[in-house]
Amino acid sequence: ILFHKAAMNAAIYGTGYIKIVPGGTELRQSQEDVTVPRLVALDPRWVEVTTMEEDVETVQAYTIRYNLGEIAHREVTERQVTESGDTSSWLVTHYISNQATRGAWQVLDEYSWPYEYAPIVHWQNLPDPSGAYGVSDIAQVLELQDRANFIASNISKVIRYHAHPKTWGRNAGNATQTTWGADEMVMFSSPDALIQNLEMQTDLASSRAFYTDLRQAMFDLSRTVDLTSISDKIGSLTNFGLRVLY
């Protein structure tokens, strides 16, 4: 479930993040209690990545920014560089800002991460060779989705107003009633009276075909198989055949 959540975040926002929280879980091993790290899937909207200007593969800092009520939180995980150029540790500093601090960032706590790798792991959903952030699966699909929703809404409105025939009459002012049910009859005394129905002359085939084209385009851009495009009999295909099809 954890990796599923992280993968979904990456697919939607382009970049996935997992944070290693030290001392998150206690396990009993032999006769001693052992504390192991806990993994957390971070919301990509909270995280900012700072890299070297000449090397986007080298992360200098991760900044997590979020609000809880009236308190703003900022956690900075920054690479530590010694005088000898050693970069084998990270410093995690947690800041808060509220009315008591008059909007200024105040250090709440900090700890050292004594490993060469950072306590936050990030990856690109789709590769971007010129940046640290990845490319979303749905970034190019949103405009098509809005257009498909618009077409579907129009089709729904047409069906709503024209799903049943419109009855109209001429020279029927002397009718005994103007509304009737399925088991009722309207009587006219005028020989020129006329009652007819207005019905749709199309089943919206062209509009439905355009919606299908938009839907298939969304699957193409998201590199996903559109099940409605599969015309083969799935039950008669082997596993290898299904892999080739997909």
Q: What tens digit of pLDDT does each residue of 133-167 get?
A: 999 988 888 899 999 999 999 999 988 888 777 77
Average pLDDT over residues 59-67: 95
What Å distances lie between residue 17 and 28, 45, 65, 86, 189, CA to CA? 29, 10, 14, 25, 80
Residue 51 pLDDT: 94
Q: What are phi and psi of 203, to 5 degrees?
A: -100, 20
**Highest mean pLDDT out of 23-37, 45-59, 159-173, 184-198:** 45-59
Burial status of residue 188 (CB atoms within 10 A of its CB: 0-12, 13-18, 19 or more):
middle
Average pLDDT along the chain = 85
Is the pLDDT assigned to residue 74 strictly greater than 70? Answer: yes
CA 40 – CA 120 distance, rounded (Å):
9
> Is it the case that residue 56 has pLDDT exceeding 80?
yes
Q: Tell me, what amino acid is at 159?
A: I
Residue among 5, 17, 114 at smallest CA distance from 65: 17
pLDDT value at position 146?
A: 93
pLDDT tier at 26 (50, 70, 90 boundaries)? low
Tell me, what's the pLDDT at 7? 95
Arithmetic mean of pLDDT, 228-245: 75
Determine the Cα–Cα distance for residues 99 and 114; give it in Å rounded to an integer: 34
Residue 178 has pLDDT above 70, yes or no: no
Average pLDDT over residues 216-226: 85
Q: Residue 221 — pLDDT band, cuts 50, 70, 90? A: confident
Task: Tell the residue number behind the tokens 């936050």, with chain if given.
Answer: 120
pLDDT at 12 over 80: yes
DSSP H or E run through 149:
helix 142-162
Torsion of CA 132, 134, 140, 142, to 10 degrees: -100
| Cβ atoms 104, 95 nearer than 8 A | no
Query: What is the per-residue burial (b if ≥16 Cβ within 10 Å, else e) of 27-48?
Result: eeeeeeeeeeeeebbbebeebe
Q: Which amino acid is it at 33? A: D
Side chain identity at 204, as an amino acid letter? L
Amino acid at 12: I
pLDDT at 193 over 90: no
Please say if the pLDDT value at position 127 is more than 70.
Answer: yes
Q: Which pLDDT belongs to residue 177?
A: 59
Q: Which two tokens stand for residue 209?
A: 């075909």
Give the model's pLDDT for residue 183. Answer: 74
> Is residue 94 over pLDDT 70?
yes
Backbone angles phi, psi at 12, to 5 degrees: -80, -45
